[in-house]
Amino acid sequence: MFPSGPARQSGELSRRGFLGLAAAGLSATALSACSGPSTSSGTTSDKHQQIDFTGVKPAREITFWSSNPGSSQEVTQQIIDAFHQSQSDIRVQLVTAGSNYEDIAQKFQAAQAGGKLPDLVVLSDVWWFRYYLQDSIIPLDSAFTALNWDTSDYREQLVSDYKYDGATWAMPWARSTPLFYWNKAHWAAAGLPDRAPTTWTEFAEWAPKLKAANAGIQNAFQLPALAGYAGWSFQNNLWGWGGSWSAKGAFDITCDKPESVAALQFLADAVYKNKWSGVAGKDSTNDLSAGAVSATVGSTGSLVGILKVAKFDVGAGFLPGGPAATSPVCPTGGAGVGIPKKIKPENQLAAATFIKFLTSPENTLKFAQATGYMPVRKSADPSSLIAKAPQSKVAIDQLAATRNQDWARVFLPGADQEMANACAAILTKNAEVQGEMTKLKSKLEGIYTSQVQPHLK
């Protein structure tokens, strides 16, 4: 649901290098995606210029555009109300600007062309660098100074995803990892150990037992809905088999390699040959919550919703590994918040003031308790969160074993949709895996060759 991953220390320099090159040379056409915002406006000459907030008085009223990730509208409004109670200088209006990250991206893009801009906007971790490239967001570092805002308490794995070239372009807010969820009652009926499978091969051995012991279930496992999420969630399977969409920290497309093909063939066999898995039409976590399937993979942002609906004990564990690797095989996801460039400094400073409050230790914990997202501050004591939902500890623990996503997915415009289309052909139409991955490689290389490579120096 929430696709993206933070830059790890091991790959941070090379990723930063790409973005720096892209900032210097990518044209509007090059960064125009098949979905999400285009980059048809803006220049690259002054992107790193920090805003001088000396003598600036925060605006009295600001708007916050959100897609309410993880059904977070209510808790976000509660935090806004608490902000109003804490001071009387700034009022925040929460605006639902779309139902998902793509919706809000399109609306934000439209506003760049002449509409009314927000003062604070949700930035998907997949799309935020496009806003940077079109010169539509500001670096936040001078606001940190102006507000005496110490950012060292933020979880480095999350905040570093928005840093490069010596500037910080957003702050983490609704951040997640995918988890393996299961129905403990189904597990018990099948006589399985009360834990997530260590590998997908182990789960394949468990699946017939689950189906035999739980008459009436649709599937032992439900694959996530493919539109928009296949490229994200199936990185786990590819990495576990030693494959990938593209080579680590590079644009070398590897989706057609034997390891990648084997990982996707395993999923195809689970659906068609061994018949223990299905594919969700809309939301696999809803299928799990309804008791229709025994297990699925979903965002930590779905945790609270699952617990509210499910009439059984819900298990949550690390993502399974594969025959080549069991760690790290998990990407992170979610969104941060940033500030538009084409608004007044008074509004920018007011927005930064609210971000500081929004992501405080107290409020990141409140947000996590209400949604299932991870606390983004190290000093936020998760004990009350874990006491209320022990499953949330899994997400926090798994954070240390995450891996930044393949460049082919996050940096090639429109690649995510191409991945989803290829996976849909394989998993809903029983298309031949090698053939689909060969075609996908050709499409991804075409995107790179025509839209990215000519602009890299």
**Does the structure show a pLDDT above 80 at 456?**
no
Q: What is the mean pLDDT of residues 326-333?
A: 91
**Does the structure show a pLDDT above 70 at 296?**
yes
**Does the structure show a pLDDT above 50 at 195?**
yes
pLDDT, tens digit (0-9, with 9 covering 90-100), for 131-172: 887 789 999 999 999 999 999 999 988 888 788 678 999 999
* Residue 96 burial (CB count, 10 A): 12
The CATH classification of domain 180-331+405-455, taken from the options 3.40.50.300, 3.40.50.970, 3.40.190.10, 1.10.260.40: 3.40.190.10
How many angstroms from the chain centroid is the CA of residue 441? 23
Res. 307 pLDDT band, cuts 50 70 90: very high
Closest by CA to 35, choosing from 98, 95, 117, is 98
Q: Cα–Cα distances in Å, from 419 out to 20, 298, 414?
A: 26, 18, 9
Residue 114 has a pLDDT of 84
Closest by CA to 224, choosing from 179, 284, 264, is 284
**Does the structure show a pLDDT above 50 at 434?**
yes
Residue 327 has a pLDDT of 94
Residues belonging to the chain: 457
Res. 228 pLDDT band, cuts 50 70 90: low
With tokens 């507000």, the residue in question is: 147
Query: Global pTM?
Result: 0.82
Q: Cα–Cα distances in Å, from 100 out to 70, 104, 322?
A: 10, 7, 31
pLDDT, tens digit (0-9, with 9 covering 90-100), for 55-73: 999 999 999 999 999 889 9
Phi, psi of 373 (to 5 degrees): -65, 165
Residue 170 has a pLDDT of 95
12-176+333-380 under CATH 3.30.460.10, yes or no: no
Residue 15 has a pLDDT of 43
- The one-letter amino acid code at 389 reads A
Q: What is the mean pLDDT of residues 196-205?
A: 98
CB 196 within 8 A of CB 317: yes
CB 76 within 8 A of CB 68: yes
**What is the rounded CA–CA span in Å between residue 423 and residue 415?**
12
Q: Cα–Cα distances in Å, from 206 out to 193, 195, 201, 264?
A: 10, 12, 9, 19
Residues 6+ apart with CB under 8 A from 393: 382, 386
Phi, psi of 300 (to 5 degrees): -60, -25
Best-predicted range by mean pLDDT (18-27, 189-198, 396-405, 406-415): 189-198
Give the range among 11-20, 143-152, 182-191, 432-441 with minimum mean pLDDT: 11-20
Paired tokens of 116: 């009314």
* Residue 138 burial (CB count, 10 A): 25
Per residue, what are the HEC states of the chain?
CCCCCCCCCCCHHHHHHHHHHHHHHCCCCCCCCCCCCCCCCCCCCCCCCCCCCCCCCCCCEEEEEECCCCCCHHHHHHHHHHHHHHCCCCEEEEEECCCCHHHHHHHHHHHHCCCCCCCEEEEECCCHHHHHHCCCECCCHHHHHHCCCCCCCECHHHHHHHEECCEECCEEEEEECEEEEEEHHHHHHCCCCCCCCCEHHHHHHHHHHHHHHCCCCCECEEECCCCCCHHHHCHHHHHHCCCCCECCCCCCECCCCHHHHHHHHHHHHHHHCCCCEEECCCCHHHHHHCCCECEEEEEHHHHHHHHHHCCCCEEEECCCECCCCCCCCECCEEEEEECECCCCHHHHHHHHHHHHHHCCHHHHHHHHHHHCCECCECCCCCHHHHHHCCCHHHHHHHHHHECCCCHHHHCCCCHHHHHHHHHHHHHHHCCCHHHHHHHHHHHHHHHHHHHHHHHCC
- The one-letter amino acid code at 260 reads S
CB 242 within 8 A of CB 325: yes
- CA 23, 27, 30, 36 torsion-angle sign: positive
**What is the rounded CA–CA span in Å between residue 69 and residue 101?**
8
With tokens 């947000």, the residue in question is: 367
Mean of the per-residue pLDDT values of the chain: 87
**What is the rounded CA–CA span in Å between residue 258 and residue 407?**
19
**What is the rounded CA–CA span in Å between residue 305 and residue 283?**
12
> Between 433-447 and 258-272, two packed helices, what is the crossing angle to 10 degrees?
130
% of the chain with per-residue pLDDT over 70: 88
With tokens 């210029």, the residue in question is: 49
pLDDT, tens digit (0-9, with 9 covering 90-100), for 13-64: 344 444 444 443 343 333 333 333 333 333 434 556 899 999 999 999 999 9
**What is the rounded CA–CA span in Å between residue 208 and residue 432?**
25
- Which part of the chain is CATH 3.40.190.10? 12-176+333-380, 180-331+405-455
With tokens 């209510």, the residue in question is: 74
Paired tokens of 2: 């929430």
